[in-house]
Structure 1
Amino acid sequence: MSPAGRGATATHCPYCALQCAMFVEPDGQGGWATRPRDFPVNRGGLCRKGWTAGELLTSPERLGTPLVRRGGELAEATWEQALDLVAERVGALQAEHGPDGVGVFGAGGLTNEKSYLLGKFTRLALGSRMIDYNGRFCMSSAAAAAVRAFGLDRGLPFPVSDLSGAGAVLLAGANPAETMPPLMGHLTAPALVVVDPRRTATAQAALDGGGLHLAPRPGTDTALALGLLHAARLEGLLDTGYIAERTAGFEAAWEQAAAWWPERTELQTGVSASRIRAAARLLGTAAADQGAYVLTGRGTEQHAKGTDSASAWINLALALGLPGRQGSGWGCLTGQGNGQGGREHGQKADQLPGYRMITDAAAREHVAGVWGVDEADIPGAGVSAYELLDSLGTPSGPKGLLVFGSNPAVSAPAAAGVRERLDSLDLLVVADFVMSETAARADVVLPVAQWAEEEGTMTNLEGRVLRRRRALAPPPGVRTDLEVLAGLAERLGQPAGRFPSDPDAVLAELGRASAGGAADYGGVSAQRLEDGEAVHWPAPAPGASTPRLFLEGFAHPDGRARFRPVGHTPAAEQADADYPLVVTTGRTMGHYQSGAQTRRIGELAAADPQAWVEVHPDTAAEHGLAPGEWARLTARRGTMLARVRLVPTARRDTVFVPFHFGGDQTANDLTNPALDPLSRMPEFKVAAARIEPAAPGPSPAGAAPAAAGAAAPD
């Protein structure tokens, strides 16, 4: 569609959970441009990704026609042919293997409406238990820790703008200066304490502002949090009145922390005892004066013990009297654009809409009533994201998989094994708007609308429900995910109208289904959002909004928060003689998630065209590496290639790689799928590896694969 004559549309960024406000408008050259608009989260700013987001709307690699694999090659098909084929093969697989013979894999970037309808589709149209999503890889550990501490999970239980009034902020495992740059405008506290094995841009900002950077060995975050709690108590900084009046279980938690005096913590973490005491003083003094916050990110959560690690930081915050107070608190920096809403409405294996548990009889009865089915028609809980992917094609796992908006061929841990499992399927269907590495392996590819081509709602990291508005129509031949689900559901025998394709109709139904649940959207309406109301869930009635949770009490029956006794345990995998280094992964400023979108944007691809590895100069010399040359990293599960960057501030025992690249530059070919026992989060942040020079270098596979019939990227 030509943008001629169209004005600016107020909407939100397609990337991270800040959901910065922006305008989408014609660029005067036949394309589309973005520019920031004023909003409490981004305050008129955008990061590099937001400024360039419009380029993808007219990308030559955009998918525009359904593709069906014939004779080993993807060939164009009509929508009727593609959907009929999917329905026929789904029916055949389920007739042979039962309802769980087909599964669904969703995404934290889908709108609330898509997330909701995807869960409903899986459980009713397919009758399958087998659904989970890539948000399981994002903040499931912090969510599990928050539920057991507070009785409720919302990434930030307060508005982002509250942060700017604090006297101190501790960031554990987060690098917003690169991953969420507009957030840095809110991190203006006199004391910023950053916990990260790397000297990130955020850590450097803390040092430049007179704060602290604590650089623990990867996998020792829990020990550091215990050491900080110990130091705070020795310094007399705990809020004993708050602990007595608003919490339970402190003594059991203290029994664990009592063993972690600063000097012992130094031996385990590598962070000096003096810096541990200094950080405790900064945080504790601010908590009693101007207020303080403890914020966690993926670095401290993406571990096989990530729930306990997040709980250790919550314990520190509770001991200082932070959660549930104006001007103080604990929170988690949700990563994906709808990472919060995406886990509230039913695309997790164990949940129904409204953050209800699928094993709860009352929850099942309520949702069944909204859906117009018997409670017994709703299947039980399935398995977590990695467990689902790892079971594909096996005797006990699904033989078919429908993927919406995710790229697990790159983003899943032990990704080489996941690709083998995807290739073993009898049917792989991918709905996406570009040919991701996962779509390139599919039997059927369904081209769907992208962010600025459809209406819907997103829920950002503060629990604020936002209106995503359509700026332009999808290209001819492209359908929305809701239209795809509606079309498939009818072909699978569902009554017409049970799966509406109008997003406002889906939102209204979502409100009824979530009403009375922990994440209550009963009072959220399209009109409220169009009128510009600030709506934070729970919003149980028209006009209701809850920007700050827990001020009157926590969500446990007695209103008290719970300390959780946790101890430090080693990472699931340790370095040894064969794999002497620790490799840790993360994001870089120019790219997002698996890179399927950002690697197709010229400016971003030019800035970071290939994977790279951060190595200390001494480590590089020891392993024969030269700056700018290619290195091969090898772990127990696979290998990857990356260009060497020498970083004098890096730890000598640790190397860092970004996970935005595919092909032989796939960082997740190295990562460990060991799972947290509660959250089922994989151990992305610690893997034992070795490194060596690589010659002659990689194949040109770090860029995203081209669409069928298009030229391969250089």
Structure 2
Amino acid sequence: MTEMLLRYFRTKQQEVEKETVYPSQCPFCSMQCKMQLIEQVTVTRKKYKTVGVDNPTSEGRLCIKGMHAHQHALHSERLKYPLRKVNGEFVRISWEEALELIREKFTAIQAQHGKDALSVYGSATITNEEAYLLGKFARVALGTRYIDYNGRLCMSAAASAAAKTFGMDRGFTNTIQEIPHSRCLILAGTNMAECQPTIMPYFEKAKENGAFIIAIDPRETATTKLADLHLKVRPGMDAALANGFLKVILDEDLIDEDFLARHVVGFEEVREYVSALDLNEIAEMTGVPLSQIRKAASVFAREESGMIFTARGVEQQTDGSSAVRNFLNILLATGKIGKKYSGYGAVTGQGNGQGAREHGQKADQLPGYRSIENEADRQYIADVWKVDVNELPRKGVSAFEMIQKVDQGEIKAMFLMCSNPIVSHPRAEFVKQALAKLDFLVAVDMFISETAQLADLILPTTSYLETEGTMTNVEGRVLLREASFPVRGEVKHDWKIICEVADALGKGEYFSFSSPEEVFHELCVASRGGIADYSGMSYERLRREKGLLWPCPDETHPGTERLFEAGFAHPDKKARMVPVSNTAKIAKEKTSETYPLFLTTGRIMSHYLTGVQTRKSATLAAREFESYMEIHPATAKKFQINDQSLVKVESERGSIVVRSKWSQTIRKDTVFVPLHWTESQNVNRLVAGTLDPSCGMPGFKVSAVKISAVDQ
């Protein structure tokens, strides 16, 4: 009888089971994998699972972060209502009260201190529509020059290098589908196997096809294991290593003379500088054996096709822009750009790192990669926005420089959207102290992050499951992220929040949008004729064609799969080469008796950025629940650090305590700490606030530290 009852109830449970499918797109890395969240409801419980959906970039693949992203979106700590800080505690208020408070505070601050007393800090995880609106909000609703975003800490070096070299910056100059057919691939400072796992099959296929893969990284990673040749460069010496490649290419007469003559300006200056360099000195500086430098350079130059990919390992340095330019010098010297299976890839980190910088969040840019200092560009955007061009502010400063202006009292208030700067910036304790000085801080977020904890007002926003809009992935492919998951509580979309705040400030006529699709239409108009031209796109086309690569200047244009086939984006159609010094203009930290080791930082597969979202995922948090310091056993023994023991890591800026992890595969003069943790494990407390003068990128990858065992 008992067994019969059990069978009956199981049958009834199955009969009432309901399944709902929600289309979406991963909120994390720049691959922007398409997926579906499947909700299964029975009489006893509700459960979720995520499956991949076929698309041109990730082909239906998902990594562990994507498979469990819904865990943070459905977390019980999601914010549901506006919160105001009263006597140090957050209390629930209505949206009407929140908007009135913003109006009152922003108006009073600008009346007393001027328009530039307000600032906007954006994000590379929001949609293109929201990034576009945020830039417009800063310049039209607030009239401030001070806007920048967290992508400054991610893509600014690569973006500035590509723009100066080629005349434009798009993530990949070729489609991702060309990678398997390239004959030689250089992976400089990128650990894609952990940061963008779903891209790795393209490189694995290239290796199966006989490609020679060269990896440049101070430590062995899941990515370098794929390589035929791994160059363990000393942290900070990437520009010098690229000069070593160029020296070999010149000495062995492996340059493409015809390509250089027809398509490049500045080669002779590079030849003159590099010819005077000594390869033995470069080998000594970089810590890479001369034989390996020769082999890498020779193989790349001699193969008929080749691609170079750079990421944060090269870019997050005080000469990151110059270092990338030197790797682009290698491409140009060998003629490996603008043709099949040859080109450059800036491996974007954040989900919308490409699109978020194209349409107005950067301090010096207007939509479509227009310059805020160019009179024609200013007039075009003023006409689209229907404002007086003289009312548009001029360029501001980079993200970290904005925080310095907060500290100095020049900026009095900040509108912060979906970012966590007190964890992500260098000199993290300084950043925390600076933001605490603000007269008024508004944070738009899904959770009370470490930075939102400092806010006077928090506005609850929607997640990737609930927010429709476009994202531009690592290739420069614009994708439409469908989203239909029900919004809970009083949560609002980022784009809606921006419009309502603008309306409260008396600028509603410029923000009268009723959907993200309407915003996208205006974005496309604003981008028309610009470098990043989306004007031929629409939601309908993006749905039908599964994304489009920009530039796409009209409705019949198929999108641009390969850049620079007919010339570069400079007015004369020629690329620019410049000599790059072996040493940065702003000196990098050197080791000393007091601080004898180099510290470098990076990401790991199970977490993302400052960990606000992934540490809310039980599955991901369980994989890596604390930070660690990777160290060579010989170095560990020298400093009396046992494996899996607590260790104090100190620089001139501060200290953290993490767990040691012995590794035979890291340089003996270098330790590695991931960046996803906060407070006493926030590695950015150790990093200096020195910036790349070309792009404002902090030098995260080179810090001098000392280590000591923690008594247990």
The TM-score normalised by the length of structure 1 is 0.94
CA-CA distance at 1:6 after TM superposition: 5.6
CA-CA distance at 1:197 after TM superposition: 0.6
SS at match of 2:416: strand
Q: Alpha-carbon deviations, 1:347-402, whole Å to 9, x = none?
A: 1110100100100111111101111110011111111111001221423x211111
Residue in 2 that maps onto 1:411: 424
1:67 equivalent to 2:83? Answer yes
Distance in 2 separating the partners of 1:638 and 1:487: 41
Residue in 2 that maps onto 1:701: none
Q: Which of these residues, 288, 305, 317, is aligned with residue 303 of structure 1?
A: 317
SS at match of 1:421: helix
1:228 equivalent to 2:245? Answer yes
1:347 equivalent to 2:364? Answer no
Q: Which of these residues, 524, 537, 557, is aligned with residue 524 of structure 1?
A: 537
Asked if the contact 2:691–2:699 (Cα under 8 Å) also holds between the matched residues in 1, the reply is: yes
Residue in 2 that maps onto 1:711: none
Residue in 1 that maps onto 2:480: 467
Distance in 2 separating the partners of 1:676 and 1:131: 19
CA-CA distance at 1:27 after TM superposition: 4.4
Relative to structure 2, which stretch is displaced further, 382-391 or 617-626? 617-626
Instruction: State percent identity of aligned pairs.
Output: 42
CA-CA distance at 1:4 after TM superposition: 8.2
- 5+ residue gaps, structure 2, are 1-15
Residue in 1 that maps onto 2:223: 202
Asked if the contact 2:646–2:658 (Cα under 8 Å) also holds between the matched residues in 1, the reply is: yes
CA-CA distance at 1:285 after TM superposition: 2.3
Asked if the contact 2:250–2:271 (Cα under 8 Å) also holds between the matched residues in 1, the reply is: no
SS at match of 1:452: coil
Residue in 2 that maps onto 1:559: 573
1:650 equivalent to 2:666? Answer yes
Distance in 1 separating the partners of 2:442 and 2:634: 47
1:92 equivalent to 2:113? Answer no
Q: Alpha-carbon deviations, 1:596-652, whole Å to 9, x = none?
A: 111111111011001100011121122221111111111111111110001112111
Residue in 1 that maps onto 2:564: 550
Residue in 2 that maps onto 1:325: 339
Q: Which of these residues, 27, 47, 60, is aligned with residue 14 of structure 1?
A: 27
Question: CA distance change for structure 1 residues 131 and 205 in 2, over 3 Å: closer, same or farther?
Answer: same
Residue in 1 that maps onto 2:398: 384
Residue in 2 that maps onto 1:139: 155
Distance in 1 separating the partners of 2:622 and 2:697: 33
Q: Alpha-carbon deviations, 1:521-560, whole Å to 9, x = none?
A: 1111111112235411111111321121111110011211
CA-CA distance at 1:11 after TM superposition: 3.0
Distance in 1 separating the partners of 2:299 and 2:68: 39
Asked if the contact 2:629–2:672 (Cα under 8 Å) also holds between the matched residues in 1, the reply is: yes
Distance in 1 separating the partners of 2:550 and 2:240: 34
Distance in 2 separating the partners of 1:284 and 1:641: 45
Residue in 2 that maps onto 1:494: 507
Residue in 2 that maps onto 1:507: 520
CA-CA distance at 1:499 after TM superposition: 4.4
Q: Alpha-carbon deviations, 1:654-695, whole Å to 9, x = none?
A: 110000001111011111221111111110100111111224
1:585 equivalent to 2:585? Answer no
User: How large is the Cα RMSD of the aligned pairs?
Assistant: 1.5
Amino acid of the structure 2 residue aligned with 1:671: V
1:45 equivalent to 2:61? Answer yes
Q: Alpha-carbon deviations, 1:118-164, whole Å to 9, x = none?
A: 00001111111110000011111111111111100111011111111
SS at match of 1:453: coil
Amino acid of the structure 1 residue aligned with 2:77: E
Asked if the contact 2:145–2:396 (Cα under 8 Å) also holds between the matched residues in 1, the reply is: yes
SS at match of 2:443: strand
Residue in 1 that maps onto 2:646: 630
1:424 equivalent to 2:453? Answer no
Question: CA distance change for structure 1 residues 370 and 383 in 2, over 3 Å: closer, same or farther?
Answer: same
SS at match of 1:204: helix
Residue in 2 that maps onto 1:394: 408
Q: Which of these residues, 189, 212, 222, is aligned with residue 191 of structure 1?
A: 212
Amino acid of the structure 1 residue aligned with 2:376: A
Asked if the contact 1:489–1:499 (Cα under 8 Å) also holds between the matched residues in 2, the reply is: no
Distance in 2 separating the partners of 1:254 and 1:12: 46
Residue in 2 that maps onto 1:278: 295
Question: CA distance change for structure 1 residues 411 and 4 in 2, over 3 Å: closer, same or farther?
Answer: farther
SS at match of 2:20: coil
1:110 equivalent to 2:126? Answer yes
Distance in 1 separating the partners of 2:555 and 2:65: 35
Q: Which of these residues, 675, 683, 705, is aligned with residue 699 of structure 2?
A: 683
Asked if the contact 1:24–1:471 (Cα under 8 Å) also holds between the matched residues in 2, the reply is: no
Asked if the contact 1:486–1:501 (Cα under 8 Å) also holds between the matched residues in 2, the reply is: no
The TM-score normalised by the length of structure 2 is 0.94
Q: Which of these residues, 548, 563, 571, is aligned with residue 535 of structure 1?
A: 548
Distance in 2 separating the partners of 1:4 and 1:470: 23
Asked if the contact 1:25–1:471 (Cα under 8 Å) also holds between the matched residues in 2, the reply is: no
Q: Which of these residues, 352, 370, 381, is aligned with residue 338 of structure 1?
A: 352
CA-CA distance at 1:31 after TM superposition: 4.3
SS at match of 1:145: helix
Amino acid of the structure 2 residue aligned with 1:422: L
Relative to structure 2, which stretch is displaced further, 444-453 or 525-534? 525-534
Asked if the contact 1:672–1:686 (Cα under 8 Å) also holds between the matched residues in 2, the reply is: no
Residue in 1 that maps onto 2:284: 267
CA-CA distance at 1:30 after TM superposition: 2.2
Asked if the contact 1:519–1:537 (Cα under 8 Å) also holds between the matched residues in 2, the reply is: yes
CA-CA distance at 1:32 after TM superposition: 3.4
Amino acid of the structure 2 residue aligned with 1:233: L
Amino acid of the structure 1 residue aligned with 2:302: T
CA-CA distance at 1:501 after TM superposition: 4.6
1:367 equivalent to 2:388? Answer no
Amino acid of the structure 2 residue aligned with 1:426: D
Distance in 1 separating the partners of 2:76 and 2:508: 38
Structure with greater Cα Rg: 2
Relative to structure 2, which stretch is displaced further, 570-579 or 471-480? 570-579
Amino acid of the structure 2 residue aligned with 1:641: V
How many residue pairs are counted as aligned between the two chains? 686
Q: Alpha-carbon deviations, 1:463-493, whole Å to 9, x = none?
A: 1100011130221210011111111111111
SS at match of 1:398: coil
Relative to structure 2, which stretch is displaced further, 669-678 or 260-269? 260-269
